[in-house]
A and B are shown apart, each in its own frame.
Chain A
Amino acid sequence: MFRLSRKNLIIIAVVIAVIVILVAFGPIEVWNLVLLQPILNLLVLLSSVFFGSFGIAIIIVTIIVRLLTLPLTLRQLHATKAMSALAPKMQEIQKKYAKDQEKLRKEIANLYKESGVNPAGCMLPLLIQFPIWIALYQSITRALASSPEELLNLSQNLYALPIIQQTVPLQAQFLWLDLGAPDRYFILAILCGASMWVLQKMSTLPSADPRQQSMGKTMIWMMPLMFAMFTLMVPSGLGLFWVVSNIIGIIMQYYITGWGTLAGFSLAGLLTRAPATAPPPATPGPAQQLQTPMGAEQEEALAAERMKQEKRLEHGKSRDKRKDRRGGRRDSSRKARRRS
């Protein structure tokens, strides 16, 4: 007979509950009630606490949300790192079974199973965090209420607390910024682009796949440029949120992977090289090493970084094995107790 594990039962129950709530109240009401309004009111409340400064409120709420989603972020970062460490083996398998697709799929599945890596582990935590980030993003823009219509809209999303009612409309001035309008001095756009570039550079892990390498290279430049451009167009409250979020991301990334491919990077190197010929973000396989020019110092730093990562991964694997063993022992002792 088909049996469901407890974990699957919980997942099914949660999914059914979410569907029932969505159908009963409507998706927009649920979204507003569960995510948008709490974050929006927290922003307004913090503005009131911090002398009416909406800028400080944005910084604090971004930190709070980053901390609340920290377990998910860590899981995602660890999973990405583990996937990246498997890349050389994956390439070997792909070469070996290039003509037999079925065998290739089986071998890849075996590789994931043996190394205890779940490919969905990179995406799932990101997907779970996604609604929270959208709600935070929407809350900032709604709280700013830069037109009378938006203020009218804001009135429908505030809690009936005097401290919140008294704070609205929010003070849009923060440092040199009018948080409701784009930064005229381009400082925020530069900060946003630079911080995102650092984060991208740190988070791009070594890959043996030339396609991934090429995509990584493009993204390291494209994403910061794109966000810098957005920052020039949208209210600077959003730009501030992106900059703070990037800085927190850099700190977190440093504790997980260290400086990553940023290690050994020098500003002089950046200035003398055009973006298109920038060094690859990863330690490539032997074939790529011949093709890509790289400074000896940088090579050494990347090799050291890679060794560190492999060690961490090994450490993680042995920890998992120890956990499994402990879990096994616990199961057998439970069974023994039941028998007695």
Chain B
Amino acid sequence: MLFALLIVGCLFLTGCLPGTGGGFLCGGGSAPSGWSGPVVGNDTLYVGSMTGRVIALEDLSLARARIKWQYPPSDESALGYIYGTPCVADGVVYVGAYGGATRDPKVYAIDSENGWRIWAYPDEGSIGPIIGSPVIANSTLYVGSSDGKLYAIDIETGRDIWRFETGDDIWAAPAVHDGVVYIGSFDQKLYALNAENGVKVWHFDTGAAIASTPLIYNDTIYVGSFDRKFYAINLDGTEKWQFDEAENWFWDKAVAYGDFIIAGCLDGRVYALDAETGDCKWYYPPEDEEPVGPVRGAPALVGDVVVFGSEDGKVYVLDASTGQELWHYPSEEDYLGPVRAPICAGNGVVYVHASNQKIYALDMEYGRINWSFSTVD
């Protein structure tokens, strides 16, 4: 009998431990923490911290960035986990929160100058947890939710204009182009919707769930899927090509560089594909080297270099035309903690939000760190 008790104890030690956000973390998996990427607007950096607050940093060009404001302030409870990257438009910061033990999932509009809340959607009640980033086009904010719906919200009033329901969770961010909203869903479909009224124009079937944000470049939609394939789709919803040599899922948005589409993959590699044919031009690390850790967050382009973060706790800088590594940060022994957030590029500097709850400003020219800022309360 005592042995049975011992078994129960061991099961809980090996399988289920109390999580930080309330409830239990089971299966020896990772605790939720969020992976919001930074965004820069008006010389201020905005990011959703892993403590569930939106943080604005100023003096980005100095040796040490300073906090401008945080929402909610430290005397109020946090928003829960934040996975989506904030977006900034007309002096307002918009962020979608996943929610947590004390707060429901909501979209918040915050004054970029003072950090005061302008509105929250929904006013009362809640929607499903938000993982994808919000996007703004024509005074409308588009955001997907885990309740399977895409919401179009008026940015002035904070009220929804229309909703479109897909067959499963939405974890991706939408993309808007020429009056059409493109959104991927876990129901394995990429939808094209009329941005005005949310009416479906067409849908494209992939072989598995889509969590990746579509990239629209030269009248083609580029999107990756959990079926380990990367698709190029014409604007009429027909397939242009597909790339199927990756060994794991494509999760986040790709970037375009000349004739290349560069996408990170959870197999620990970054692929550069010909935008017209889908041929693989290069991949990093090359065949004779071991893959780095899974690449979840979107890479960023700074001039002719592509920067991406990896689950192995490092940030890699490559020549975008050849895929050759220029340098990586930190050096061999150091470790930032998994870099899952998308990288933000601006003025020869990239901003990285690592799982060690720090924001790093990396100088691209000299390959060194300008400053780091801890987002922990």
Contact = CB atoms under 8 A, between A and B. Distances in A.
B30 interface: yes
Contacts of B226: 155, 165, 168
Given A149-B29, A149-B33, A150-B29, A238 B16 contact: yes
Nearest to A171: B168
Contacts of A160: 228, 247
B23 interface: yes
A142 B29 contact: yes
A147 B146 CA distance: 11
A141 B249 CA distance: 21
Contact of A152 (B8, B208, B247, B296): B296
Interface string B60-91: 00000000000000000000010100000000
* Category for how many chain A residues contact B: 35 or more
Nearest to A153: B29
Contact of B16 (A141, A156, A216): A141
A137 interface: yes
B1 A235 contact: no
Interface in A148-165: 148-150, 152-153, 155-156, 160, 162, 165
A169 interface: yes
A266 B9 CA distance: 32
A42 to B, nearest CB: 15
B1 A142 contact: no
A155 B29 contact: no
Nearest to A126: B3
B1 A148 contact: no
Contact of B294 (A140, A150, A156, A215): A156
B339 interface: no
Contact of A155 (B12, B28, B248): B248
Give the dominant DSSP class at A's interface.
helix
A152 B171 CA distance: 13
Interface in B1-56: 1-5, 7-8, 10-12, 14-16, 23-24, 26-33, 35
Most buried by A among B23, B29, B35, B249: B29
Contact of B186 (A153, A169, A227): A169
B54 to A, nearest CB: 19
Contacts of B30: 147, 149-150, 152-153
B209 interface: yes
Contacts of B169: 169
A155 B131 contact: no
B11 A148 contact: no
Interface string B275-303: 00000000000000000001010000000
A134 B14 contact: yes
Interface in A169-217: 169, 182, 215-216
B207 A138 contact: no
A192 to B, nearest CB: 12
Given A141-B29, A166-B188, A233-B24, A152 B266 contact: yes
A134 B171 contact: no
A137 B4 contact: no
A148 B83 contact: yes
B111 interface: no
Contacts of A230: 8, 12
Nearest to A237: B26
Give the dominant DSSP class at B's interface.
loop
B296 A138 contact: no
Contacts of B227: 162, 165-166
A130 interface: yes
B269 interface: no
A205 to B, nearest CB: 11
Most buried by A among B10, B15, B16, B171: B15
Contacts of B171: 148
Contacts of B27: 137-142, 144, 150
A134 B10 contact: yes
B4 A219 contact: yes
A160 to B, nearest CB: 7
Contacts of B294: 152, 155-156
B340 interface: yes
A235 B27 CA distance: 11
Nearest to A235: B26
A142 to B, nearest CB: 4
A73 B4 CA distance: 14
A227 B26 CA distance: 15
A126 B35 CA distance: 42
Contacts of A168: 208-209, 226
A138 B266 contact: no
A123 interface: yes
A34 interface: no
B208 A155 contact: no
A233 B248 CA distance: 33
Contacts of A147: 29-32, 81
Given A145-B29, A162-B227, A169-B186, A216 B11 contact: no
Contacts of B208: 165-166, 168
The 9 A-B residue pairs with the shortest CB-CB distance, nearest first, are A141-B27, A141-B26, A149-B30, A147-B32, A142-B27, A150-B29, A219-B1, A137-B15, A138-B27
10 contacts: A123-B3, A133-B7, A134-B10, A141-B26, A147-B29, A149-B29, A153-B29, A155-B266, A162-B227, A166-B207
Given A134-B14, A150-B27, 20 more contacts: A133-B7, A133-B11, A137-B11, A138-B28, A140-B27, A141-B29, A142-B28, A146-B26, A148-B131, A148-B171, A149-B30, A150-B32, A160-B247, A165-B226, A168-B226, A182-B23, A223-B4, A223-B8, A227-B8, A233-B24
Interface of A: 123, 126, 130, 133-134, 137-142, 144-150, 152-153, 155-156, 160, 162, 165-166, 168-169, 182, 215-216, 219, 223, 226-227, 230, 233-235, 238
